[in-house]
Structure 1
Amino acid sequence: MMLAENPTALGRIRQRLRVLAALIIRETSARFGRSWGGYIWAIAEPTGGIVLLSVAFSLITHVPPRGTSFMYFYASGFVPFMMYNSIANVTMHAIRTNKGLLTYPVVGPLDTVISRATLEMMTHFVVALIIFPSIAWYDGVRTELNPGLLVTAFVLAFALGTGVGTLNAVLIGFFPTWQNIWGVLTRPLFIVSGILFDFDTLPTYLRDILWYNPVAHVIAEARYGLYGLERGEFVSLPYAFGIAMALFLVGAFLIRQNESHLLQQ
């Protein structure tokens, strides 16, 4: 009702949506170009990682941590992790690489961040739609999905990646070496986020420690959804979404407060 009574507010929302749509189209063209190479690589990269993990661990143990398929198990962790990680990385550099666009009055720094995050989410969602049915067909996986949990996991990956990227976009604007420090600090994330193991099989004390890693909640939620399970006790959506929202709000506030400085770097 308030929007209907306030055409200015409605007009601003429409303008923001048009700007975001234009930026997403531009980012799509810049990333994938006019050839199929970019699209093929978007599928080949996670597929290659899944195959390598599956082959390596099948030589160590004959039974995957859950289910009967090594590829399906590792894909259930690798794909959502890649979604989060890609969103965090591309949004971190969104402002710095789009300074030319930010000279236009209608384009704001947060528009570049959100458009990049949205494109990454859509790309990895399409990749997931291709990879999981393909693995299930190839390995003869018989499982019922829990679509609600799977969608929640992807939304959480989007929110968390956007929050991390938004805050980091400010930090690298003031401290350019932060991107190198961040890369070193987050290298163990691949191991401690649950890609290689099942949280439900861990000792309680270890599971309690890993619980504080919000990315682990993304992977656990996706895995429950892909194996048709109910949400386990490990996942806390208020905690994970709370971390994501706090990071985004702090980052967005700092961007607005320091916009002129960030555009000069």
Structure 2
Amino acid sequence: MARSVSALLLREMATSYGRSPGGYLWAVLEPIGGILLLSIGFSLVIHRPPLGSSFLLFYATGFMPFTLYQTISVSVARSISFSRSLLSYPAVSWFDAVVARLILNSLTGMVVTFITITAILLVSDEHVVISPLPLISAMALTVLFGCGIGLVNCFLIGMFPVWALVWSILTRPLFIASGVILLYENLSDFAQSILWWNPLIHIIAIMRTAFYPTYQPEDLAILYVLGVSLSLIATGLILMRHWHRQILSR
């Protein structure tokens, strides 16, 4: 398995980031550009961000975990179609393809998050003492949740290709509904009662507690996020184990 995963990792790196000289550079510049646009846009409307004094840091603490989740979930969901040509070899399994994409995109996303937030702290006037435990927890939960969604979607897209389009439509409001640009606590009670069930709301809140010591949300449910993530992973693995041959034969 280790050889297969290593080979798939190298192929993934060459395909995703090695096609152009700025492949990995773009992976850093893209989120920075998104955070800059959010910061400039909202600074024209409001005088201060909901937390702290730096628009860049506030939106980075929401944008980066959301981007990591999105990257992992999409890459895992498309792992079978991406490596279909190699899965005809007995030495390479569908599980190897999933693990390779999960490892590469998780590590890349974490490094990009570290570089982006470090750069923002260097240019920002915000004096921050980072709490490592919430930061690590948020990153770990993001990877688990993204993997769970990706595995279930890997099965659904493999069996019902139209699901890829349906899912993209259903999740378009997710950027706003995950607390990237707004604080959960500032929403109405009705909105809170609905959005509480979105695990990303909790993940982004955990991420922000690592940078804002005075921010202590009362409705955080780490066990809920962990339970949902592990349930999705288990469900996805069971479905893929029983149906991967049918998916590969399509």
Indicate whether the TM-score tops 0.5.
Answer: yes
Q: CA RMSD in A?
A: 1.6
Q: Percent identity?
A: 39
Unaligned runs of 5+ in 1: 1-15
1:162 and 2:144 aligned: no
Q: What is the one-letter code of the residue matched to 1:22?
A: A
SS of corresponding position for 2:182: coil
Q: Does 2:19 correspond to 1:31?
A: no
> What is residue 135 of structure 2 aligned with on the other side?
150
CA deviation profile, 1:152-202 (whole Å, cap 9, x unmatched): 111111111111111111111111111000000000100010001122333
Change (3 A) 1:231 1:114: farther
The within-5 A match list for 1:75-94 is 75-94=60-79
> 1:6 maps to which residue?
none
Equivalences for residues 169-208 of structure 1 within 5 A = 169-208=154-193
Answer with 121-130 or 64-73: which moved more: 121-130
> Conserved in 1, the CA contact under 8 Å of 2:65 and 2:139?
yes
Number of residues of Structure 1 aligned to a counterpart in Structure 2: 250
Task: Show the counterpart of 2:197.
Answer: 212
1:85 is displaced (CA, Å) by: 0.4
Match for 1:240 among 201, 225, 248? 225
Q: What's the counterpart of residue 248 of structure 2?
A: 263
Q: List runs of 5+ in structure 2 lacking aligned partners.
A: none
Which residue number in structure 1 is paired with residue 31 of structure 2? 46
Q: 1:4 corresponds to which residue?
A: none
Distance in 2, matches of 1:26 and 1:20, equals 10
- Give the distance between the partners of 1:166 and 1:80, measured in 2 at CA: 19
**1:249 aligned residue:** 234
Q: 2:50 matched to which residue of 1?
A: 65
Write the deviation string for residues 11-37 of structure 1: whole angstroms up to 9, x where unpaired: xxxxx3343233222211221116531
Amino acid at match of 1:74: Y
More helix per residue: 1
